[in-house]
A and B are shown apart, each in its own frame.
Chain A
Amino acid sequence: MTDCSNIEIREWLPEYLNGMPGAARRAEVESHLASCEDCREELAMLRLVREAFAPTPAVDVAAIVSALPKRTRGPVMRSWRQSQVFQVAAAVSFIALGGISLAVARSFFNGEPTVVAVDTLRTATPGSDFMPAISFSGGVSDLEDEDIEALLTALETIEALPVTESSEVLMTGTGRQGS
């Protein structure tokens, strides 16, 4: 086996074997191979080496994936919290205004385009379960995760209450939440 003097082509053989170069380069290598026995022999030898190291030791892709760090922890958790804080703050402040249409809070949760309708005359039903949960001082962002979850659970119960009639469209917004 002698070495071909076309160094450039020889340098491309390992990549050619692994399918790496672009179409034009492949065509160039193939055209040279058609007329060069030395390079054909060298390529055959490289292929033999590659095949000698196959089969690859088995790897269990599913097992590897399940061992990977979960993306739902860390940054995603933080953005979840920020998003929830925003939702609660929005819902609570409107309730504090008094007499929010309960459909409003719901539209915030769904992240859909929001039409905020306010019945200025009514207040949220007194004595209902969610009231103690939202009687806190300080900003919503001061709450612990558990408090926010409790608050959200309490707010869920609002949906079970009769929906008040909207009397006035106050504002519109997209209600978009970070994801």
Chain B
Amino acid sequence: MAEGLTDPGDPLDSTLIQRWKEGDERAATALVERHAGALARYVSSMGERDAAEEVVQDTFVRAFSSLDTFRGESSLRTWLFTIARRLVVDRRRAMRRRREVGTLDDVDAATEYTALDGLIANEARKKVWGAVGKLSPTQREVFLLRVNEGLSYKEIAEVAGTTEGAARVHYHNALRTVKENLE
């Protein structure tokens, strides 16, 4: 089984949310344990590895502050990813204003991933980062949400503010590029 999966016997997110609303603090711990890892990986893959823990914490604080308004039309997971994404974009914007660097699209993926080099010295991984680094920011985001987290196109569309069709196209273009660069 892959990491971060819920056992069929585990309570649903909606059940845990209800328990937390009724004052059960352990339900909050269970929800954080269930989703924090995937959120940290996502934030990190958006080039915010150093700030991942902070962004993930802010994500949960914001989500829990407005859980009363969460109606469950989308999954909790999708909602958390959406909040995390907004926080990352806001961070980037603030940083850009301070440094007067280019737009989000100009961020050089290769530079982002070289920041990871010190953490894991592994040729295969470096090769993957290099291949993924060749993708456009949108392609990269869609591709990693799909491959790393198993999000559906519908969920990705919600998180990244695009359409299911566009998400599918981005995924397949990304898949082709990564394949070519890994061969």
Q: How many CB-defined contacts (below 8 Å) exist between A and B? A: 110
Give chain A nearest CB distance to B21 CB in angstroms: 7
> Which residue from chain A places its CB closest to the CB of B57 in the assembled complex?
A64
* A19-B44 contact, Cβ under 8 Å, with A59-B53, A64-B32: no
Complexed CA–CA distance, A67 and B183 (Å): 46
**Interface SS of A by simple majority:** helix
* A76-B23 contact, Cβ under 8 Å, with A19-B5, A59-B53, A61-B33: yes
Which range holds the interface residue count of chain B? 35 or more
Q: B94 interface residue, CB < 8 Å from A?
A: no
* A58-B179 contact, Cβ under 8 Å, with A52-B124, A67-B61: no
Q: A50 interface residue, CB < 8 Å from B?
A: yes
Complexed CA–CA distance, A164 and B178 (Å): 85
Q: B159 interface residue, CB < 8 Å from A?
A: no
Q: A14 interface residue, CB < 8 Å from B?
A: yes
Complexed CA–CA distance, A50 and B53 (Å): 20
Residues of A with C-beta under 8 A to B43: 57
Known: A49-B148, A64-B60, A71-B21. 9 other contacts (CB 8 A): A18-B150, A19-B5, A20-B150, A42-B175, A48-B182, A49-B143, A60-B53, A61-B36, A68-B64
28 contacts between A and B (CB under 8 A): A1-B179, A14-B150, A17-B147, A17-B150, A18-B2, A18-B148, A18-B149, A19-B150, A42-B175, A42-B179, A45-B179, A48-B128, A49-B147, A52-B128, A53-B45, A53-B144, A54-B3, A59-B56, A60-B53, A62-B29, A64-B60, A65-B25, A65-B29, A67-B57, A68-B60, A68-B61, A69-B64, A71-B25
